[in-house]
Amino acid sequence: MSPAGHVTRTEAPLIHIADVHKSFGKVEVLKGVSLDVAKGEVICVIGPSGSGKSTLLRCINALVPIDRGSIVVDGQEVNDPRLDKLQLRRKVGMVFQQYNLFPHRTAIENVMMAPIHVLKQDRREVESRARRLIAKVRLEGKEDAYPGELSGGQQQRVAIARSLAMNPEIMLFDEVTAALDPETVKEVLVTIRELAEEGMTCAIVTHEMGFAREVADHVYFTDRGVIVEHGPPREFFAQAKDPRTRQFLSQIL
Amino acid sequence: MRAGPYGTTDLPVLLPFRPGARGAAEPAPGLGAAWGVALALVFALSAGIAEAQSDAGRPSTVATILKWTPLLAQGFALNILISFLAMAIGTAAGTVLGLCQISLLPPVRTGSWFMTQFFRNSPWLVLLFYCMLLLPFEVNVGGHIVPLPDWFKATVGLALPVMANVSELVRGAIRSIPFGQWEAADALAFSRRQILWMIILPQCVKRMTPPWMNLYAILTVATPLCSIVGVNEAMTLTGDALAAEARNELLVPMYAYLLLWFFLYCYPISRATVALEKRFAVK
Ligand SMILES: Nc1ncnc2c1ncn2[C@@H]1O[C@H](COP(=O)(O)OP(=O)(O)OP(=O)(O)O)[C@@H](O)[C@H]1O
Ligand SMILES: [Mg+2]
């Protein structure tokens, strides 16, 4: 079962998002989104295409600047011109739909690069950690393979290991299984579930409803830039109240 | 303009990435070999005709050409030296200029864009003349007077268009790297400088190598332009040899001989370029 029971909601949330607005040109993509994620909590964000899910995740690690509102990550205000972005991003790992591994580096080098060059950690230490992480995502023996020699699912697991190598406090997953063959989806989901069970704080955008139901402490449904409805997965999936949520769920389930 | 997997480009030198699409300056492999054979034939034929036209008692055409060969080789060595230096200077300066073209500072971006466009769209010969005229014949480097020989000024003149072409090459290659690479590196807290040098540029090198080699071949065949501004390279020396011989029937074979030299030097480079393109295309 999910670690929901261990989450004490009285602590200050690790991620606090309040009334966030974001426009690209004339298109308002986020229209006042608010949500909190407690330490160790796993949230899943679901919703139709174009509803602003990816944008929301990218705002959390300042890949996308917000227009209005507030995002506080571990006490740090993200919407602050003096924000140390690099400092923030060390705490927040992110995995993308398209893996985005560095194709000119082997799997283990992909994992090792950031700790060595960003965190300036000792190479040997990083290497042994990288080997452990690669084993953790079940890719022993693939250390020296180039991304082009790995399957999509394997690449995505290297990408997860690469993010974990920074020892982040939060992991963001943006539809990380959407580009994968159905057979390899599972291996990636298993990896994420293990992380969640170990207590990693996760924000997951996904279309895998079964996975969301199983892994999430809280599910959010977004549509056209607003959070329409949210709740613990059991309630959310069994008794959604809003007609838009119901319609979306009936289409996808 | 063509849109391809690397995005839209107006850069002829970037086109060779796609097998089947090649810069106009570069012959297809089969055609290139045919051109070489044709050249050799012209040379042999014209040498034969010259032989027939020669007055009896004069040294044979082939013997005359052989006699001048060491001098020609000396001139050709200068062509190669100029091509190496111009390529080195142009590549170094062009890389910097190309990076300036993607700078986050608008004035730097605009300035370098303008400079690139200016030098890319100027006739090489005009740039060459300008360098000969504007560069001093000696410079003062920390108290030392260093003379600037003509051939060096000409090298700088040729380096300018090379720089502009490399600048476009660098900019185009950087833009052809998927945005996800930047985003993933950003998310891992790499600085912009680190992203460029460790993640983006290493991927660019591979993409840039074939068009860069292509540019080198184009530069090499352009080096005889230096003869117009009085540099003693192979073209000038061929002219000198012909003047010394004062035999009209030698004109065609001598210049065909010179063409053959350039062909033998450049053709392997163009074959290697094609081979590299093919290898990179597979991956
Ligand atoms: N960098 C950008 N510039 C302009 N428009 C953008 C940009 N990024 C996203 N958008 C637009 O914002 C809207 C929301 O995009 P977003 O990627 O957040 O949606 P999403 O919910 O993740 O959709 P999907 O399920 O398809 O991934 C879309 O209309 C998209 O076209
Ligand atoms: Mg998305």
What distance in Å separates the CA atoms of residue B37 and residue B148, rounded to the nearest whole number?
40
- Total structural domains in chain A? 1
Protein residue with least CA distance to atom 8, ligand 1: A55
What distance in Å separates the CA atoms of residue A227 and residue A208, rounded to the nearest whole number?
18
> Once rounded to an integer, what is the mean pLDDT over residues A67-96?
94
The answer to whether the pTM exceeds 0.90 is: no
| Pairing label, strands A76-77, A92-95 | unpaired
* 8 A C-beta contact, residue B50 and residue B249: yes
Q: How does pLDDT run across A8-58, given as a tens digit for each residue? A: 555 789 999 999 999 999 999 999 999 999 999 999 999 999 999 999 999
Q: HEC profile for A177-200?
A: CCCCCHHHHHHHHHHHHHHHHCCC
Among candidates B260, B279, B261, B283, which has minimal Cα distance to B271? B279
* 8 A C-beta contact, residue A44 and residue A215: yes
Rounded to the nearest integer, the mean pLDDT of chain A is 92
* 8 A C-beta contact, residue B60 and residue B51: yes
Among candidates B81, B70, B76, which has minimal Cα distance to B234? B76
Say which of A61, A103, A148 has its CB closest to residue B187: A61
DSSP chain B: -EEETTEEE--GGGGGGSTT---TTS--HHHHHHHHHHHHHHHHHHHHHHHHHSPTTSPPHHHHHHHHHHHHHHHHHHHHHHHHHHHHHHHHHHHHHHHHHT-SSHHHHHHHHHHHHHHHTS-HHHHHHHHHHHS-SEEEETTEEEE--HHHHHHHHHHHHHHHHHHHHHHHHHHHS-HHHHHHHHHTT--HHHIIIIIIHHHHHHHHHHHHHHHHHHHHHHGGGGGGGT--SHHHHHHHHHHHHT-GGGHHHHHHHHHHHHHHHHHHHHHHHHHHHHHHHH-
C-alpha dist (Å) from residue A155 to A92, A147, B183, B184 = 20, 6, 17, 13
Q: What pLDDT, on a 0 to 100 scale, did the predictor assign at position B30?
A: 63
Torsion of CA A102, B176, B95, B79, to 10 degrees: 110
* Distance in Å, CA A55 to ligand 1 centroid: 6
Q: What pLDDT, on a 0 to 100 scale, did the predictor assign at position B31?
A: 67
What distance in Å separates the CA atoms of residue B216 and residue B221, rounded to the nearest whole number?
9
What distance in Å separates the CA atoms of residue A220 and residue A236, rounded to the nearest whole number?
9
Say which of A98, A117, A148 has its CB closest to residue B180: A98
Contacts of B194 in chain A (CB under 8 A): 117-118
* pLDDT surpassing 60 at residue B43: yes
CATH number (domain holding residue A182)? 3.40.50.300
Q: What pLDDT, on a 0 to 100 scale, did the predictor assign at position A10?
A: 59
* 8 A C-beta contact, residue B258 and residue B199: no
CA of A46, nearest ligand number: 1
Taking the CB of residue A87, how many other CB atoms lie within 10 A of it? 10
* pLDDT surpassing 80 at residue A1: no
* Distance in Å, CA B57 to ligand 1 centroid: 86
Evaluate whether residue A4 is within a structural domain. no
* Distance in Å, CA A92 to ligand 1 centroid: 21
* 8 A C-beta contact, residue B108 and residue B100: yes
Instruction: Tally the residues of chain A.
Output: 253
Say which of B180, B194, B202 has its CB closest to residue A104: B202
C-alpha dist (Å) from residue B59 to A117, A158, B44, B117, B250 = 70, 74, 17, 52, 12
CB neighbours of A227 closer than 8 A, spacing ≥ 6? A33, A34, A35, A220, A221
Type of residue at A194: E
Residue range(s) defining the domain that contains residue A40? 15-252
For ligand 1, mutation pick of A21, A22, A23, A24 (most atoms within 8 Å of CB): A24
What distance in Å separates the CA atoms of residue B179 and residue B201, rounded to the nearest whole number?
14
State the Cα angle at B181 between B176 and B182, rounded to 5°: 95
User: Where do the domains of chain B lie?
Assistant: 32-51+59-279
Q: How does pLDDT run across A150-193, given as a tens digit for each residue? A: 999 999 999 999 999 999 999 999 999 998 988 889 989 999 99
For ligand 1, mutation pick of A20, A54, A56, A57 (most atoms within 8 Å of CB): A54
* pLDDT surpassing 80 at residue B57: no
CA pseudo-torsion sign B195, B196, B201, B203: positive
What distance in Å separates the CA atoms of residue B210 and residue B25, rounded to the nearest whole number?
13
**Residue predicted with more confidence, B39 or A101:** A101
Q: What pLDDT, on a 0 to 100 scale, did the predictor assign at position B5?
A: 42
* 8 A C-beta contact, residue A156 and residue A180: yes
Taking the CB of residue A112, how many other CB atoms lie within 10 A of it? 22
By the CB criterion, residues less than 5 angstroms from ion ligand 2 are A 54
When scoring B104, B176, B183, B188 by the number of chain A Cβ atoms within 10 A, the one with the most, hence best to mutate, is: B188
What distance in Å separates the CA atoms of residue B204 and residue A163, rounded to the nearest whole number?
24
Contacts of B280 in chain A (CB under 8 A): none
Percentage of residues in chain B having pLDDT higher than 70? 88
Protein residue with least CA distance to atom 3, ligand 1: A24
Instruction: Measure in Å the smallest separation between the Cα of B108 and chain A Cα atoms.
Output: 23
Among candidates A133, A130, A199, A137, which has minimal Cα distance to A170? A199
Band of residue B16 on the pLDDT scale cut at 50, 70, 90: very low
Structure tokens at A226: 């607003």
> Once rounded to an integer, what is the mean pLDDT over residues A57-83?
94
* 8 A C-beta contact, residue B75 and residue B233: yes
| Interface TM-score (ipTM) > 0.85 | yes
C-alpha dist (Å) from residue A140 to A101, A115, A158, A160 = 18, 20, 11, 14
* CATH number given to B32-51+59-279: 1.10.3720.10
Rounded to the nearest integer, the mean pLDDT of chain B is 86
* Distance in Å, CA A57 to ligand 2 centroid: 9
Band of residue B42 on the pLDDT scale cut at 50, 70, 90: confident
Buried b (16+ CB within 10 A) or exposed e, B38-63: ebeebbeebbeebeeebeeeeeebee
What distance in Å separates the CA atoms of residue A69 and residue A29, rounded to the nearest whole number?
14
Query: A77 forms bridges with which residues in the sheet?
Result: A72
